[in-house]
């Protein structure tokens, strides 16, 4: 050993290559340990192994391959519809047939891997509409996407047993019974708010809240989804705001002055992301409770409070009357304006009750 030290000291140039080799070996050993023994890199490696089928290498970089879509190029100089308003003043699209490409939308929402919750409240006599609602929803609602049907009811044993598509399920949620349908309608705001925060936010990405006394007669898909959407009332979409049945009494929390208002929204179909539906329903519930404390009930119950909320919290998407229609309402509009019904290209949700009057909505 002393001889080796003396040799190195006497001839340092002989030692230099050995030192370089040792340093290189140490560096390689450290690199091996980092790449293969680091737990984080092991996790990333396992993820990469599972995604080999959908990635390719380009110039040494990995890129995700998306499915190719072929469709006509959009023309910025040609509007999709010239006979109707397709955009609100706050730049929210109004959804009419002919204003969207369903294939593009379906692909975008599949990338999100979204799950949609469809909510109904069948109680008392409204049970007779539930089977038709669910059966037609299976035919037309969000085809190709995951759906949870949330059925709020005071009689769970009356919910029909149906076979639904893969990726779908019927979830029954028991609620208290009420003597008046108005009470059911107003209390649903409270229940939607509570369940949105306690349950829905863990199970779905979007909520669609609908009346049960309807059936679907045409496609209703992801084109309706946004952070917050409302539906134009078929009986009032062509009228002046002075003719809207807003709550006009200042004593009510739903009060809207006569010189305000954009559209009249129907309470039978609205929705959005879980967080936005939670905000909407909580605000409406609080307003209803204040009205009750002051011994006043808004003229059209929760629908009046919904319209007040949409006035000051603009929806990010508005559904045209194609999405909820009733023939008697259509006849009324036709009497007022003979050209109006021609703008309805598709009839998607149809009201089933026979005794609807114009002021029932």
Report d(CA 161, CA 179) in Å as an integer.
26
b/e burial code for range 334-359 (CB count within 10 A of at least 16 → b): eeeeeebeebbeebbbbbbeeebeee
Residue 332 among known ligand-binding residues:
no
Residue 305 among known ligand-binding residues:
no
Residue 211 among known ligand-binding residues:
yes
What's the token pair of residue 282?
């909580």
**Catalytic option among 223, 247, 276, 303:** 303
Residue 213 among known ligand-binding residues:
yes
Angle between helices 12-37 and 39-50 (to 10 degrees): 60
DSSP string, 247-288: B--TTSTTB--TT--S--B-TTEEEEEHHHHHHHHHHHHHHH
Report d(CA 104, CA 294) in Å as an integer.
50
Closest by alpha carbon to 181, among 329, 344, 360?
Answer: 360
Helix (H) or strand (E) holding 89: none
Residue 154 among known ligand-binding residues:
no
Maximal C-alpha separation, the chain = 115
Residue 233 among known ligand-binding residues:
yes
Report d(CA 245, CA 225) in Å as an integer.
26
Ramachandran angles phi, psi of 349, nearest 5°: -100, 130
Residue 223 annotated to the active site? no
Tell me which residue has tokens 């990338």.
111
Per-residue CA distances from 267 to 83, 208, 310 (Å): 26, 12, 11
Helix (H) or strand (E) holding 356: none
Binding site listing for UDP-N-acetyl-alpha-D-galactosamine: 126, 211-213
Q: Which residues are annotated as a binding site?
A: 126, 211-213, 233, 303
Residues contributing to the annotated binding site for Mn(2+): 211, 213
Residues annotated as part of the active site: 303
């Amino acid at each position: 050993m002393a001889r080796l030290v003396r040799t190195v000291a006497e001839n340092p140039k002989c030692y230099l290559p050995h030192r370089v080799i040792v340093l290189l070996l140490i560096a390689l050993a450290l690199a091996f340990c980092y790449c293969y023994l680091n737990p984080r890199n092991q996790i990333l490696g396992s993820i990469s192994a599972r995604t080999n089928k959908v990635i390719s290498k380009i110039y040494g970089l990995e890129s995700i391959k998306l499915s190719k879509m072929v469709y006509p190029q959009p023309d910025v100089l040609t509007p999709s519809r010239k006979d109707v308003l397709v955009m609100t003043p706050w730049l929210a699209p109004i959804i009419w047939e002919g204003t969207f490409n369903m294939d593009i939308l379906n692909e975008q929402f599949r990338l999100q891997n979204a799950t949609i919750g469809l909510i109904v409240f069948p109680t008392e006599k409204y049970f007779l509409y539930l089977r038709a609602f669910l059966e037609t929803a299976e035919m037309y609602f969000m085809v190709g996407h995951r759906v949870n049907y949330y059925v709020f009811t005071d009689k769970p044993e009356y919910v029909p047993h149906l076979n639904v598509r893969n990726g779908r399920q019927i979830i029954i949620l028991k609620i208290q019974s009420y003597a008046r349908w108005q009470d059911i309608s107003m209390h649903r705001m409270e229940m939607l708010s509570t369940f949105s925060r306690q349950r829905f936010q863990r199970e779905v990405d979007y909520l669609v809240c609908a009346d049960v006394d309807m059936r679907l007669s045409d496609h209703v898909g992801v084109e309706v989804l946004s952070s917050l959407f409302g539906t134009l009332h078929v009986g009032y979409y062509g009228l002046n705001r002075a003719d809207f049945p807003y709550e006009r009494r200042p004593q009510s929390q739903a009060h809207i002055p006569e010189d305000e208002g954009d559209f009249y929204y129907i309470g039978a179909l609205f929705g959005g992301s879980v967080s936005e539906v939670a905000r909407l329903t909580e605000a409406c519930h609080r307003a209803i409770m204040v009205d009750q404390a002051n011994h006043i009930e808004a003229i059209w119950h929760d629908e009046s409070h919904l319209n007040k909320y949409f006035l000051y919290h603009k929806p990010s998407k508005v559904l045209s009357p194609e999405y909820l229609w009733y023939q008697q309402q259509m006849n009324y509009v036709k009497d007022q304006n003979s050209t109006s019904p021609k703008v309805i290209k598709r009839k998607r949700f149809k009201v089933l009750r026979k005794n609807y009057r114009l002021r029932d909505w």
